[in-house]
Structure 1
Amino acid sequence: MSSSDGFSDFFYTAPDGLRLHARVYGETNSVHWPVVCLPGLTRNARDFHELALYLSRRADNPRKVIAFDYRGRSQSAYDPDISHYNVGIEAGDILAGLAALDIAEAAFIGTSRGGLIVHVLGALRPAVLKAILLNDIGPVIEAEGLAHIRTYLDPSPKPKSRTEAINALRSAHGGDFPALTAADWERMVSALYRETDQGLLPDFDAKLVETFASLDPSQKLPDLWPQFDALAAIPLLAIRGANSKLLSVDTLEEMRNRHPGMEAITVDGQGHAPFLETGNLPGAIAAFLDKAENTAQTK
């Protein structure tokens, strides 16, 4: 493990042979449930860096944390067949990574697309899910949120400097995220972009945008209520940005109704999706994981 960065890089092979990447924090923390972090559509493992450090370095109940790069993102190889950029194949990639790491069960944190993958994992391999955190995602995706995502992804901005990148992100997201500090925007740039000889570039396969562009925001997407209902016995924490356009208040309330044990947090001053390292969220997430594990051990 790199003592300066707090994680090691782990590479493994997907079922179809593609070389994929994950970060592993707290490699020696094997007593408690590990935590698997799954990012959003064009995001990557760097989104979880601060939270992963917190969870892996706690004095009480330190956990191994694995943050994945999906195929076509960051250090994972790009797929020549863009039809493979879908949640079904990505769920299979996660299971392959867990098998390579010899992890049979874990708590899962899914942001946006990562939460959709959690729903798929619940259908494919429910025993792997010990606890679930859904970050600004649920069984119903609002058309307004999809339209907003398309607006800032097509075309993906290519800023010439970090300052220009921060200004572009503030322009696209500032209205939904008035609570963010300058340091938060800096971290967002570091997570979204890679530095190259040509300047800053979005750290994902540009063809990902093509897979999203085919969606019609005016058409309601199929909901995932059957898949969500199948998670009813698993401890669940749902986090929603107060300004989210993707996860509605009505959907969150219906999730509560269908999963009576579900805990929920609404994050003021943030939209889709809340930064999990901000405010009191790291402590709340750690407390949820500890409670879920302690409850399971007493049954």
Structure 2
Amino acid sequence: MENTMAINYVSSDGLNLYAREYTSNKTANNPNKKVLLCIPGLTRNSLDYQSFSEPFRDEYRVIAVDLRGRGNSEYDSNKVNYQPVIYARDIVELIDHLNLSDVTLVGTSLGGIVSILVSNIIPDLIESIVLNDVGPEINPVGLERIRNYVGKSTIVDSWEEAVRQNKLINELELPDLSEQEWLTFTRGLYRVSTNGKIELAYDPEISESIKVKDENTPLIHLWPQFDVINDKPILVIRGEFSDILDVECVERMKSVNAQLTYCEITNRGHAPLLNEPQCVTALQSFFSSHQKINAIKSAN
């Protein structure tokens, strides 16, 4: 049986927000454990981190959020609020609500962008960062691909149909999933509606944040914010054929942050699921290494 604990809180603008903590017998009653705070991608939610949590929940508090407009979090009537600065504010408020410190942010895609912003707002509370297939700038090719599907999938009658719909969008990015893995992945993206139909578990209006506003201005340009956190341990994970995170961007990130660790996941596009053996090994090594560094600093 999956061990989870619901976390409910209210944002400063009155929205009911949700996160789930993946627990174990070792961490369920130990609020002093270090925290892995997981922020999903644009269309995903806290269920995206279920398998990720398994190797880590004995040692860490693994908390995964539903950004506003996703999963069990309330939809925002003001679609302009579906943007990274507001999401970052929500995460800061969750950290304050739970009185967290020594936080490692684990951000996939949009979640990585939010992680950079959060680390700028409360740097003293953020110990390290994992950026899953995202950096301070986004390849416009991948962004256009995402624009073409967000909020456009239809409601279906069965999980089989939902899996087929999901494959049309993601099969090239995740080419080697088994049928059971596809079903698990799909059940994290979709839900059963009140009329028994299967629908995506997000507000279609979240696409507002990725609409073209100015052809000559990049949607994301976070190099100044990335430079601010150049003293933090950062692990960058990239899918081998990602169309969101360019290798050139990764090289520039390395030049900015001497502590940056990089892992490229074979046979993956955007974005790795973080349960791949390569990912798990890289994550375990990263968490272990920066914990040792921090222990040495504390001893001195």
TM-score, scaled relative to structure 1: 0.92
Match of 1:281, SS state, is helix
Q: Is the 8 A contact 1:33 1:293 kept in 2?
A: no
- Describe the SS at the equivalent of 1:238: strand
Written as runs of structure 1 = structure 2, the 5 A alignment for 1:151-170 is 151-170=148-167
Q: Which amino acid aligns with 2:231?
A: A
Select which of 149, 171, 178 maps to 2:175: 178
Q: Which amino acid aligns with 1:256?
A: K
Maintained 8 Å contact 1:40/1:114: yes
CA distance in 2, matches of 1:269, 1:216: 34
Q: Which amino acid aligns with 2:277?
A: G
Cα distance in 2 for partners of 1:179, 1:218 equals: 37
Tell me how far 1:159 sits from its aligned partner.
2.8
Aligned position for 2:260: 262
CA contact (8 A) 1:143 1:218 kept: no
Instruction: Give, as a single letter, the amino acid of the residue that structure 2 aligns with 1:204.
Output: Y
Q: Tell me what 2:52 maps to.
A: 51
Cα distance change on mapping 1:53 and 1:216 into 2, 3 Å: farther
The counterpart of 1:68, out of the listed 46, 65, 70, is: 65
Please say if residues 147 and 217 of structure 1, whose CA atoms lie closer than 8 Å, have aligned partners that are also in contact. Answer: no
Distance in structure 1 (CA, Å) of the matches to 2:292 and 2:37: 18
Deviations 1:50-83 (A, max 9, x none): 11232113xxxx1111101111111111111111
Please report how far the alpha carbon of residue 257 of structure 1 lies from its aligned counterpart in structure 2 after TM superposition.
1.7
Rounded to whole Å, the distance in 1 between the matches of 2:84 and 2:56 is: 26
Q: Which residue of structure 1 aligns with residue 283 of structure 2?
A: 285
Name the CA distance, whole Å, in 2 between partners of 1:297 and 1:229: 25
CA distance in 2, matches of 1:262, 1:251: 13
Give the superposition deviation at 1:229: 1.2
Of 235, 239, 244 in structure 1, the residue corresponding to residue 233 of structure 2 is 235
Rounded to whole Å, the distance in 1 between the matches of 2:144 and 2:213 is 9
Deviations 1:133-174 (A, max 9, x none): 000000110100110101121513323222222222222222
1:154 and 1:17, CA in 2 relative to 1: closer, same or farther beyond 3 A? closer
For 1:148, the equivalent position in structure 2 comes to 145
Counterpart residue number, 2:294: 296
1:212 CA drift (Å): 2.9
| 1:203-227, Cα deviation, whole Å (9 max, x unpaired) | 0112212443345678533521111
**Which region of structure 1 is more displaced relative to structure 2, 164-173 or 131-140?**
164-173
Q: Could you list the runs of 5+ residues in structure 1 that have no partner in the other structure?
A: none
**Matching residue's letter, 2:283:** I
Distance 1:211 1:261 in 2: 31
Partner Cα distance (1:69, 1:186) in 2: 20
Tell me how far apart the structure 1 counterparts of residues 265 and 213 of structure 2 sit (CA, whole Å). Answer: 28
Which range moves more in the overlay, 174-183 or 126-135? 174-183
Percent of pairs with identical residues: 30
Q: Tell me the residue number matched to 2:34.
A: 33
Contact 1:143-1:219 within 8 A present in 2 as well: no
The number of equivalent residue pairs is 292
Q: Report the CA distance between 1:176 and its aligned residue.
A: 2.6
Cα distance in 2 for residues equivalent to 1:117 and 1:98: 14
Deviation at 1:96, TM superposition (A): 1.1
Q: 1:20 aligns with which of 17, 22, 26?
A: 17
1:221 counterpart (201, 219, 222) = 219
Kindly indicate whether the alpha-carbon contact (under 8 Å) linking 1:18 and 1:79 is maintained by their aligned counterparts in 2. Answer: yes
Seen in structure 2, the aligned counterparts of structure 1 residues 211 and 132 have a Cα distance that, compared at 3 Å, is closer
Q: Does structure 2 retain, via aligned residues, the 8 Å contact 1:28–1:64? A: no
Task: Give the deviation of 1:256 after TM superposition.
Answer: 1.3
TM-fit CA distance, 1:112: 0.6
Measure the CA separation in 2 of the matches of 1:189 and 1:279.
21
Q: Any conservation in 1 of the 2:263–2:282 contact (CA below 8 Å)?
A: no
Residue by residue over 1:28-65, the C-alpha shift from the partner in whole angstroms, topping out at 9 and shown as x without a partner, is: 344542110000112100000111232113xxxx1111
Amino acid aligned to 1:18: L
Question: What is aligned with 2:75?
Answer: 78
The letter of the residue matching 2:126 is L
2:185 matches 1:188: yes
When structure 1 is superposed on structure 2, of 30-39 and 151-160 the one drifting more is 151-160
Which digits, 9 at most, give the CA deviation of each residue in 1:182-240, with x for residues without a partner? 23211220110001224110101122124433456785335211111111111110000
Aligned match for 2:103, one of 95, 102, 106 = 106
Contact 2:150–2:204 at 8 Å: present in 1 too? no
d(CA) in 1 for partners of 2:56 and 2:214? Answer: 39
Distance 2:213 2:47 in 1: 27
User: Secondary structure at the residue paired with 2:291?
Assistant: helix
